[in-house]
Amino acid sequence: MELASRIFISGHRGLAGSAIERRLKLEGFRDIIVRTRAQLDLRDQAAVDDFFASEQPDYVFHAAGVVGGIQANRSRPADFIADNLQMAVNVVDSAWRNGVAKLLFLGSSCIYPKLAPQPLKEESLLSGPLEPTNEWYAMAKLAGLKMCQAYRRQFGFDAITLLPTNLYGPGDHFDLESAHVLPALLRKIDEAHAARADSVVVWGSGTPRREFLYVEDLADACLFAMRHYDGEQPLNVGWGTDLTIGELALELARVVGFEGRFEFDRTRPDGTPRKVLDTSRLAALGWRPRVDLATGLELTYDWYRRSTAHAEVREHVPCSCFSPSS
């Protein structure tokens, strides 16, 4: 990848895509191609093919996706499987057909089987049944990974897959029903703090364990992999360490300055009990994350407070745009 390369980022308005775009610009890449959903519907095969034929990108970061938290996955299973599947098939196929040199596909740690041994190793993929609360999204992302592997085997197409853990950071979605846990709790705690409320509701038991990666670290990993990795096997991206949802709530309370209580709503699902990645494969290639959780939460809260001065953060409906990963 050279500074003059033509680079297409799908999902550039989403959490991961926007971070990749910022990072590429920071490094001096001059020829970055982006499209909003209104300009290019990635579910439309003919439109995607026309786009690749006319724009002729050299490199593709496929960060687009219909995304959301545990509740969004439950309420919109058809969108989660069909839209993500169509986008993956169209983008990988058209990229290869139109001479793209290399494609990076973003999967997600939620494609691992529900009961796979922790920390999750790449070899555990497809070794057992999926977590039912996000199996629709997971099936589509697994198919995308297999698209990359199949096109590599049959056509020699240099398509690689990264499997990031739960991402957070600037550009996230904060809709209370459909967001992921970290942005949802950050917003709830901030609002409770502002209203001097004495408690905040946390869904589920608070005991599930999750890992969180600051999205600028993901962008860094994407550029690293684009430059240094051309294997068929996917690579996990994360810290390899996790904490409980209850501990996350306390961390967020510390950042916000909220001193109230947490109430656990057990009518809401816990989802998978644990989801922590084994990151040794990417580490062996020489990549490690840099922004620890405490720093990342401060940066995210700072961004959130500045952004809530503009209404769009709260009004943003995650699934109305194509953006990245669960």
Q: Does 184 bind ligand GDP (CB under 6 A)?
A: yes
Which residue is associated with the tokens 């656990």?
Answer: 264
151 counts as catalytic: no
Amino acid identity of residue 228, one-letter, is H
Question: Within a 13 Å sphere around the CA of 102, how many CA atoms are in the beta-carbon half?
Answer: 16
Strand partners, 199: 261
Figure out which of the listed residues 121, 146, 268, 314 binds ligand GDP, where binding follows CB under 6 A: 268
Which of these is catalytic: 59, 112, 137, 304? 137
**Angstrom distances, CA of residue 251 to CA of 14, 22, 92, 191, 293:** 25, 27, 39, 16, 9
Q: Does 323 bind ligand GDP (CB under 6 A)?
A: no
Figure out which of the listed residues 213, 218, 235, 245 binds ligand GDP, where binding follows CB under 6 A: 245
Residues 74 to 93 in contact with ligand GDP, rule: CB under 6 A: none
How many residues sit in the footprint of ligand GDP (CB under 6 A)?
A: 22
Q: Does 319 bind ligand GDP (CB under 6 A)?
A: no
Figure out which of the listed residues 110, 116, 120, 291 binds ligand GDP, where binding follows CB under 6 A: 110
Residues 202 to 221 in contact with ligand GDP, rule: CB under 6 A: 202-204, 208, 210
Edge-to-edge strand list for the sheet holding 274-275: 243-244, 209-210, 274-275
Q: Does 100 bind ligand GDP (CB under 6 A)?
A: no
Q: If DSSP codes are grouped into helix, strand and coil, which group holds residue 315?
A: helix
Q: Does 69 bind ligand GDP (CB under 6 A)?
A: yes
Q: Does 180 bind ligand GDP (CB under 6 A)?
A: yes
Nearest CB to ligand GDP, comparing residues 33 and 250: 250
Figure out which of the listed residues 70, 87, 252, 276 binds ligand GDP, where binding follows CB under 6 A: 70
Q: Which stretch binds ligand GDP (CB under 6 A): 88-96, 177-185, 277-285, 291-299?
A: 177-185
Nearest CB to ligand GDP, comparing residues 204 and 238: 204
Q: Is 257 left (phi over 0), alpha (psi -120 to 50) or beta?
A: left
Whole-number Å distance between alpha carbons of 201 and 249? 10
Q: If DSSP codes are grouped into helix, strand and coil, which group holds residue 168?
A: strand
Amino acid identity of residue 209, one-letter, is R
Kindly tell me the burial class for residue 179, based on how many C-beta atoms sit within 10 Å of its own C-beta (0-12, 13-18, 19 or more). buried
Residues that bind ligand GDP (CB under 6 A): 69-70, 110, 134, 166, 179-181, 184-185, 202-204, 208, 210, 245, 268-272, 326
Catalytic residues: 137
